[in-house]
Amino acid sequence: MKILAIETSCDETAISVLEIKGGPKNPRFKVLSNVISSQVKLHAKWGGVVPSLAKREHQKNLVPVLIKSLKESKLLKSKIKSKKSKLQIKIQNELNKILERELELLRRVKIFLRNYEAPKIDLIVVTNGPGLEPALWVGINFAKALAIAWNKPLFAANHMEGHLFSVFLQEKQRREFPISNFQFPIITLLVSGGHTELILIKNWLKYKMLGQTRDDAAGEAFDKVAKMLNLGYPGGPAINRIAEAAGGHRMSFKLPRPMLNSKDYDFSFSGLKTAVLYKLKEIRNLTPEIKAIFCKEFQQAVTDVLISKTMRAVKEFKAKTVILGGGVAANKELRKQFQKKIAITNDRKYLLNLLMPEIKFTGDNAAMIALAAYFRFIKKKGPADWQALKADGNLKIF
Ligand code: KG4
Ligand code: ZN
């Protein structure tokens, strides 16, 4: 089967086509296309994502991104001349209703549908949360419009579940996914711009939230600290890059590791951000060298907390697999230190498997959304009435 997935939960407009071969017990996946149009440069001017701007940009970008994605998947087919500009009145009326709040998108969708045939896909999937609701709505309404016009089923996917499944994506090859080989329990750490979640998975789609952030998400802390250091938005990649320049140098002081020793699995990063702010005030001359050492120490503080809590959960629940996902999973130091930690944990009696997404799939993309939805689709765990599908900014993973 072929799934077309749409992701607009934040500042990336993403559409992907995923092909799945084999049965549900042993599916093989191939990413036919994974198109992402990032609005990062636009939001960078404001120091973070502006929801109304994101909504406007998604409306502008969705149709071009769809065309590109279908083209790359070899599924884009122009209508023959005589069939062009014919859209059934009934469909036009439905589109007018679905996209009554996205008039710019409505105009573009109509032009698109007049010019192109319905592609040979089996299912449309869209992220319905968590994320920015104005942004999510654009994707949802677009997906509904396509489902009506093409007469295809529509399914919803949870953005964080997408990050979780992103570890099974591979850019080039068709990825074997031997479900039966998978070792439970799994402990998964999802770290993005909006979330920091530690989840226990006892079986597919059976989640237990062990802990989450009480204030800022890990990615958000990177973004805020980067702002203090004038490194622009998004901050994670910049801090990661600059910290590398510090080499073996360290700060003469240590930043706090918030909640490192708390008995629960919650996180808190806002105190760390405040500690950075105070320390920065003490430094008179912030040379590039000191900035690099500062970035390194901040990154290490976050890494220490994330790894320590994850490993404690691994121990308590006797996990056999660890999954790391989300935008912050692109952090090279976090990846390296996780690998190291797990390597020293492993011995002949206890083998812990670490799964991390390819860097390309760490940030927001629609291939992960297609994959997450596929697992719900085969287990028939989806919305009964997709026409009533709503955006839910705080959608939970279970
Ligand atoms: O998952 P994601 O792309 O979007 C959300 O769902 O939020 O995550 C974006 C977050 C941003 O806060 C960004 O600064 C952070 O991921 N990020 C990183 C790195 N690359 C992206 N954080 C640390 N190190 C990185 N290399
Ligand atoms: Zn994300």
b/e map 207-216, b = 16+ CB within 10 Å: beebbebebb
Quick one: average pLDDT of 285-310? 94
What SS3 class is residue 237?
helix
pLDDT digits (tens, 9 = 90+) for 254-284: 899 999 999 999 999 999 999 999 999 998 8
pLDDT digits (tens, 9 = 90+) for 315-347: 999 999 999 999 999 999 999 999 999 999 888
pLDDT digits (tens, 9 = 90+) for 181-218: 678 999 999 999 999 999 999 998 899 999 999 999 99
Distances (CA, A) of 230 to 239, 289, 340: 11, 15, 32
The yes-or-no verdict on residue 360 having pLDDT over 70 is yes
Which ligand is the nearest neighbour of the Cα of 306? Answer: 1
Structure tokens at 188: 């998964």
Q: State which of 192, 298, 395 you would mutate to test the pocket of ligand 1, scoring each by most atoms of that ligand within 8 A of its C-beta.
A: 192
Supply the pLDDT for residue 171: 78
- Angle between helical axes of 332-345 and 235-244 (0-180°, round to 10): 70
Supply the pLDDT for residue 177: 61
The yes-or-no verdict on residue 110 having pLDDT over 70 is yes
Which stretch of DSSP H or E encloses residue 187?
strand 186-191
Which ligand is the nearest neighbour of the Cα of 220? Answer: 1
Quick one: average pLDDT of 79-97? 85
Quick one: average pLDDT of 233-246? 94
pLDDT-derived band at 174 (thresholds 50, 70, 90) equals: low
Q: Is any ligand 1 atom within 6 A of the Cβ of residue 326? A: yes
Query: Rounded to an integer, what distance in angstroms lies between the CA atom of residue 109 and that of residue 115?
Result: 10
Supply the pLDDT for residue 173: 63
Quick one: average pLDDT of 222-245? 94
pLDDT top residue among 161 and 387:
161
Q: State which of 190, 222, 229, 272 you would mutate to test the pocket of ligand 1, scoring each by most atoms of that ligand within 8 A of its C-beta.
A: 222
Supply the pLDDT for residue 178: 59
The yes-or-no verdict on residue 85 having pLDDT over 70 is no
DSSP codes of every residue in 46-105: TTS--HHHHHHHHHHHHHHHHHHHHHHTT---BPPGGGTT---HHHHHHHHHHTTT-HHH
Quick one: average pLDDT of 383-392? 83
Query: Rounded to an integer, what distance in angstroms lies between the CA atom of residue 323 and that of residue 64?
Result: 33
How much is the mean pLDDT over the chain? 92
Evaluate the omega torsion of the peptide bond into residue 134 and state whether it is cis, within 30 degrees of 0.
no
Quick one: average pLDDT of 356-368? 96
Supply the pLDDT for residue 179: 60
Q: Is any ligand 1 atom within 6 A of the Cβ of residue 10? A: yes
pLDDT-derived band at 84 (thresholds 50, 70, 90) equals: low
Supply the pLDDT for residue 380: 75
Q: Is any ligand 1 atom within 6 A of the Cβ of residue 237? A: yes
pLDDT-derived band at 175 (thresholds 50, 70, 90) equals: low
Supply the pLDDT for residue 83: 65
Supply the pLDDT for residue 211: 98
Lowest-pLDDT range, 98-102, 194-198, 285-289? Answer: 285-289
